Every structure is written in structure tokens, then in C-alpha cells.
A and B are shown apart, each in its own frame.
Chain A
Amino acid sequence: MAKNLSGDLTVASANRLADGAVVFLDDKGCWTRHLESAALARDKQGAEILLARAKAESFPVVDPFLVAVTEDGQGALEPVSLREKIRVSGLTFAAIAAEAVRYA
């Protein structure tokens, strides 16, 4: 059961400069590929601090921004918007493989 559906919980995200991969700012100020390691802001003031910190650490990434998330009973985070869910989990269909002769 999600604790927060209103989007007050936020993490900072960006795309990695070198390859565009989706990354999140963690508690140590490093960028990680894993949403579960992201630093979590629990209110508006925390979100402002998180975004400021993300911008300060933006050398290896492009255009940091805040992502609204929910947190379940086990502490697992999930973005609120479909766009951000897709950024986290990738394509919602199976792309054809490089050596594939047919799409299957």
C-alpha cells in the first residue's frame, strides 16, 4: 500500500552526460542507476535542498530535476507518473534484438 500518492515525496533524477542513462542522486551526492538508492526528500523544503544539491553535483549529468515518487510499506520507491516509471523500468515492449532476423 502506497504511503503517499500526492507526490510530496521526491527524488532527484537526470540523464548521465556520457550516455544519457537515467540516474538518481543518492545520499552521498553520487549519481546512481538505481532508484532504490536515491536520496528521498519528504517535504517541499527537503525537495528544494535535494534539487540544489543535484544541481551542485551536475557535472556528470544533464539537467537534474525532481521526480515525484511513492513509497510502499517496505520502503520501495515508485515514480508517480507513467513517464518516470518508463524512465526507471525501460521500454514497455520487447525491442528487436541486434541479431534477430524476425521480430518475436
Chain B
Amino acid sequence: MPDTHFYHYDDFDRTLVAERVEQFRDQVRRRLAGELTEEQFKPLRLTNGLYLQLHAYMLRIAIPYGTLSTRQLRQLAAIARKYDKGYGHFTTRQNLQLNWIKLEDAPDAVAMLAEVDMHSIQTSGNVVRNTTADHFAGAAADEIEDPRVWCEIVRQWSTLHPEFSFLPRKFKIAITGSPNDRAAVRIHDVGLRLWRNPQGETGFEVIVGGGLGRTPMIGKTVREFLPKDEMLAYLEAVLRVYNRYGRRDNLFKARIKILVHEIGIEKMREEVEAEYAASKDGALKLDPQTIEAIARQFAPPPLPHRPAIAGEVERLKLEEPDFALWLKSNTAPHKMAGYRVVTASLKPAGAPPGDASSVQMEGVADVADAYSQSEVRVSHEQNLVLPHVAVEDLPAVYRALGRLGFAEANVGKITDIIACPGLDYCALANARSIPVAQRISNHFANLAQQHDIGDLKIKISGCINACGHHHVGHIGILGVDKNGVELYQISLGGDVDFGRTALGDIIGPAVGADRIVEAVDALVRTYLDRRDAGERFVDTYRRLGVEPFKESVYAAV
């Protein structure tokens, strides 16, 4: 019996992954024996997700659509303990990075992944990367349809796809099944948004050309409504146009967003539709049986009826203010009455955002086994999610997560910071991210104050590649290196949630590393002084414009 309520590997998947493990084992052996040069080996290790960072190799593990069984999460904890330093970093693409893997151990680590139907294939390189999804998928009250069914179809189609193994640049796809986008679909190379048209049919809005990095762009709609069974054929048409016309002469202009920007969305649409017209009724048209076979594996778990109101919850709300805050910020409506979606915050005060020890991963697995149908999600905001928690069980879950340090009532608040690994780990970074996040987090640790400030997303990147999504932070912080000194550029007004995608505006000269907390504090004070009732930070910013915020920052630093 499968231990999941989501797709489980069949023999084809297992054979493919097992063969890849043995190929990789032989490649590593040959490299260590000197039979392969680094130049020959590098593309081989990268296509298996093995990077060489500042201090060590880093293994990036794909977590398809951010969904994990507790068995898989325990295995990740075991791999981290056995082959790494006993902790891992959950990323903004719902993956897990292990930062201290030895090359000689890497084949055994990926063999352990294969034991639980996981791998690290295509987590690097100019290929279609792990497809991400709404982390509340299959549970959210506002969901039209579970997007993971479609992510899984994309996964099967794109894995080792021979035509798309040498794209001009990497290619990231995100899918949401809710009107309230939690998957940041407009900042992906392709975003798919399921929606219901006036005729009552569900299909996809297809968005292309989004992305952050050096040249941030918000994706544009190339097709308003695409019937679901045409998804793969249409994706293939988009990839073909990109593969044909995407620039290969300049690394910084190679993403599809540049192509869309240069030729315009109308021309892009024309090219894609022409390509699509030639292939739409071919082998990639999805037959209902195929869709149904995959959808069946994502059937919701059989949740028993549970009361929507629980006396213990109501009592604790009155007696424990922190629990009341946690209920507000860390739980979300579930599609079934009597249940909530719970977010375990991986951002306790002063912690490196997104990091979890092996013991903590196992602890979350225990909580999910006891209270959430043995299922865990990874959010692109670097938290873990328990998708199916009964209201009655919320006090027990709160206490259990509290023992792990993961019950901070700060989801969506100022200390729920997204941060890339930055210069402490990353070979590409110019400045540190994690220590900046830690200092801001410690400064604003008071929960009551955080809830008074309200929803405020800080996103920090250690370089222009923007793994920390700084362009779409309400407050975005970008680390730069100026003559060997770390400086931090501040942008305001970015957004990515619920379809309100916007890129932030840089407020002025970068500030010193030792003044960044004061700068953020000044921004928050300006907001608190000037906000109207019900306004979020970003709303006040949009109403007032940059000037009052800018003045307060440069007066403070």
C-alpha cells in the first residue's frame, strides 16, 4: 500500500532513477580515479544536482511540487545526518540543499534518495527544473483543482526530455490551482494558473517570460484559456520556440523572459500558436485515462469528520496569547470543515531561514504522522506545511512544533524572511544574506509587535541572481560588493502573492551591513506612523510613494 496521497513511482520511474544512480556512481569513481577531468565531470555532476560551493559540495534534492511523505522526510534527515552535517536548507524552489556533501559520498546519498522515490536529477543545468506548486495544494479552501496532478504530468514529460536537455538556459515552471496565487506563477519562465471560465470549464492561463535575477520581469499571458488536456502540447510549443530563438550568445540574455521582452508578447504568441497548431493533436494530447490515472493518486486522504469548533482551542486562545497569534498567522482554511492547514515556521527568532536539523525534520515527520496524514509540504517561502490538521488537534500540534522551535507565530510577518544561502555558502554570492536575516529577525522578535506591523515580506538575496526573491519583497534587500565592502540595496513595493505581482523600486544608495537593521526599523516606523486603517506596509508604500520611506532610511543610517 502506498504511504502517500500523491504520485508514487512505478517501475519505469524506479528503473530510471536506479540506472541514473549507477551511472553517477561510475562517473564519480572515474573522476576520483583521474579518468575524467573536471571539465568533463562538471556537467555530469551538475545534472545530478551536485554543485561545488565555497567550502564543500552541495547536493540539491528535488522535492516535486514541494510534497513529501513522512517516510521521505525521515530519509532526508537520515541522509543529512549520515553524509552531511545533520541539517539541510529548504529553498525558494521547494527543494532541499545539503551543504557539506563529500564527492565520494554523493553516489550513496543519491542511492538513499532512490530508496524513497526521490532524486536530484535536473536540479541544475539548462533544463526544465523541478516544477513547483502551491504549497497548500490539495488542501486549500480556495482551490479549484489540485495543481500537483499537472505538475506530475510535467515532471514525467520533462525528465530527461532529449529535445530540451540543452536549452539556452534553465527553465522553471510553477502551477497554481487557486485564484489566490501562492506559487508565484508570474515570476517563472512559465506559470500555469488553473481557472474556471464563464462556461464552467477549468483550464490554464499560460503565462510566459517571468523571472527575477539580473533582469526582473513579470510574466505575460500568452494564452488566456488552455484546455487542460492540451497542456503538454502547448508547453512543448513554448519550449520549442524558446529553444529555437532563445539567445545562446549571452548568458545574461538567455532566459525566455529576454526573448519575450525582445520580440514582444504578440510575436511570442504568434510563434507559439503556430508551433502548437502543428502539433496539438499529436502524441502529447492527454487522454482522459492518463489524466485520471494520475489524478487518482492525488485523491485527497479520507479525512474523518471532525468538529469545526473545539473547546480546547477556544480556551487556549483566551489563555495563551501566542497560541491565538499562531492560529491567526500559521493556520489557513482547509477545504474540509473541521480541518486547518498548518505552517511550521522555519524562522524562529535569529535562525537561518529555511534551515532544519535532522532531528527537527524527524520531529516534523512525527507530527505529520500523528496529525496530518503523514504528509508534509515545502513552501517557496522556506517553511514546512502540515496540510491536513484537525481543528481539535491544533493545540497538540502547536505544542509539538513548539518543542521543535517551529511554532513561531510569524508566518507572513516581518521575521518570516526569505533569504538565499548568500556568501556564507554560495560561490556566486557577493554578500551575506543569512546573518542579515538573523539580525533583522532578532530585532523584531516580539510577536505582538510583529502582529501589530502585520503582513510584511522581507526577501534577501546575496547577489543579483535573486534566489532570495528580493525583487518581489515588500522590502527587498540585495547584497552587493563594492570594493570589497558588503553593502545592501533596499527596494520597496515588490509583491508576489495572490496575483498582485509587482517589482520593487530601489530607494537609493546601498547602506552598510552594520546599518541594515536601522534602515529596516526606519521603514517600519514610517509605516506605523503613516498607515491608514487596514493598510499593509506595501499598501501604505503605494499610497505615499517612496519619499517618506527614503527620508527616514537615510536619516537613520
A contact set with B: CB distance below 8 Å = 15, 17-22, 59, 62-63, 80-83, 86-87, 90-93, 95-103
Nearest neighbor of B346 in chain A, beta-carbon distance: A103
Q: How far is the CA of A92 from the CA of B462 in the complex (A)?
A: 14
Q: How far is the CA of A8 from the CA of B251 in the complex (A)?
A: 32
Q: How far is the CA of A2 from the CA of B53 in the complex (A)?
A: 29
Nearest neighbor of A93 in chain B, beta-carbon distance: B435
Q: How far is the CA of A18 from the CA of B425 in the complex (A)?
A: 18
Whether A103 contacts B405 by the Cβ 8 Å rule is: yes
Whether A100 contacts B359 by the Cβ 8 Å rule is: yes
Interface residues in B320-352 by Cβ distance below 8 A to A read 348, 350-352
Q: With A91-B424, A101-B404 in contact, do A19 and B86 touch (Cβ < 8 Å)?
A: no
Whether A17 contacts B31 by the Cβ 8 Å rule is: yes
Interchain nearest-CB distance for B427 vs A (Å): 9
Chain B residues whose C-beta falls within 8 Å of the C-beta of A100 in the assembled complex = 87, 357, 359-360
Interchain nearest-CB distance for B432 vs A (Å): 6
Whether A22 contacts B55 by the Cβ 8 Å rule is: yes
Interchain nearest-CB distance for B260 vs A (Å): 34
Interchain nearest-CB distance for B377 vs A (Å): 21
- B438 in the interface (beta carbon within 8 A): yes
Whether A22 contacts B38 by the Cβ 8 Å rule is: no
Whether A86 contacts B57 by the Cβ 8 Å rule is: no
Whether B55 contacts A18 by the Cβ 8 Å rule is: no
The proximity string for B residues 396-439 relative to A, scoring 1 for CB distances below 8 Å and 0 otherwise, is 00000001110000000000000000011100010110110010
Whether B38 contacts A103 by the Cβ 8 Å rule is: no
Q: How far is the CA of A63 from the CA of B240 in the complex (A)?
A: 35
Chain A residues whose C-beta falls within 8 Å of the C-beta of B405 in the assembled complex = 101-103
Whether A87 contacts B86 by the Cβ 8 Å rule is: no
- B531 in the interface (beta carbon within 8 A): no
- B355 in the interface (beta carbon within 8 A): yes
What are 11 A-B interface contacts by the 8 Å CB criterion?
A17-B32, A19-B56, A19-B103, A20-B57, A82-B486, A87-B54, A96-B360, A97-B86, A97-B357, A98-B357, A103-B355
Q: How far is the CA of A20 from the CA of B102 in the complex (A)?
A: 7
Interface residues in B53-109 by Cβ distance below 8 A to A read 53-57, 80-81, 85-87, 101-104
- B356 in the interface (beta carbon within 8 A): yes
Main SS at interface, chain A: loop
| Interface size, chain B (Cβ < 8 Å) | 45
Nearest neighbor of B102 in chain A, beta-carbon distance: A19
Q: How far is the CA of A11 from the CA of B38 in the complex (A)?
A: 22
Nearest neighbor of B31 in chain A, beta-carbon distance: A17
- B266 in the interface (beta carbon within 8 A): no
Q: How far is the CA of A78 from the CA of B327 in the complex (A)?
A: 50
Nearest neighbor of B84 in chain A, beta-carbon distance: A98
Chain A residues whose C-beta falls within 8 Å of the C-beta of B358 in the assembled complex = 98-99
Chain A residues whose C-beta falls within 8 Å of the C-beta of B532 in the assembled complex = none
Main SS at interface, chain B: mixed
Chain A residues whose C-beta falls within 8 Å of the C-beta of B423 in the assembled complex = 82-83, 86
Interface contacts beyond A97-B86, A98-B359, A102-B404: sample of 17 additional A-B pairs, CB < 8 Å, sorted by A: A15-B52, A17-B103, A19-B103, A59-B34, A82-B486, A83-B429, A87-B55, A91-B425, A92-B435, A93-B424, A93-B435, A95-B352, A97-B87, A98-B86, A99-B86, A103-B350, A103-B351
Chain B residues whose C-beta falls within 8 Å of the C-beta of A92 in the assembled complex = 424, 432, 435
- B363 in the interface (beta carbon within 8 A): yes
- B288 in the interface (beta carbon within 8 A): no
Interchain nearest-CB distance for A61 vs B (Å): 9
Interchain nearest-CB distance for A25 vs B (Å): 17
Partner of B484, one of A22, A80, A96: A80
Chain A residues whose C-beta falls within 8 Å of the C-beta of B80 in the assembled complex = 98
Whether A95 contacts B85 by the Cβ 8 Å rule is: yes
Nearest neighbor of B481 in chain A, beta-carbon distance: A82
Nearest neighbor of A83 in chain B, beta-carbon distance: B423
Nearest neighbor of B358 in chain A, beta-carbon distance: A98
Q: How far is the CA of A102 from the CA of B359 in the complex (A)?
A: 9
Interchain nearest-CB distance for B50 vs A (Å): 10
Partner of A63, one of B32, B38, B53, B85: B38
Interchain nearest-CB distance for B43 vs A (Å): 14
Whether A19 contacts B57 by the Cβ 8 Å rule is: yes
Whether A101 contacts B359 by the Cβ 8 Å rule is: yes
Q: How far is the CA of A99 from the CA of B55 in the complex (A)?
A: 22
Interchain nearest-CB distance for A97 vs B (Å): 7
Q: How far is the CA of A95 from the CA of B438 in the complex (A)?
A: 12
Chain B residues whose C-beta falls within 8 Å of the C-beta of A103 in the assembled complex = 348, 350-352, 355, 405
Residue from the set A18, A63, A103 with the largest chain B CB neighbour count within 10 Å? A103
Chain B residues whose C-beta falls within 8 Å of the C-beta of A91 in the assembled complex = 55, 424-425
Chain B residues whose C-beta falls within 8 Å of the C-beta of A18 in the assembled complex = 32, 102-104
Chain B residues whose C-beta falls within 8 Å of the C-beta of A80 in the assembled complex = 484
Chain B residues whose C-beta falls within 8 Å of the C-beta of A86 in the assembled complex = 54, 423-424, 432
Nearest neighbor of A7 in chain B, beta-carbon distance: B484
Whether A96 contacts B55 by the Cβ 8 Å rule is: no
Chain A residues whose C-beta falls within 8 Å of the C-beta of B435 in the assembled complex = 92-93
Chain A residues whose C-beta falls within 8 Å of the C-beta of B87 in the assembled complex = 95-98, 100
Chain A residues whose C-beta falls within 8 Å of the C-beta of B54 in the assembled complex = 22, 83, 86-87
Chain B residues whose C-beta falls within 8 Å of the C-beta of A81 in the assembled complex = 484
Nearest neighbor of B57 in chain A, beta-carbon distance: A20
Chain A residues whose C-beta falls within 8 Å of the C-beta of B31 in the assembled complex = 17
Residue from the set B80, B429, B484 with the largest chain A CB neighbour count within 10 Å? B484
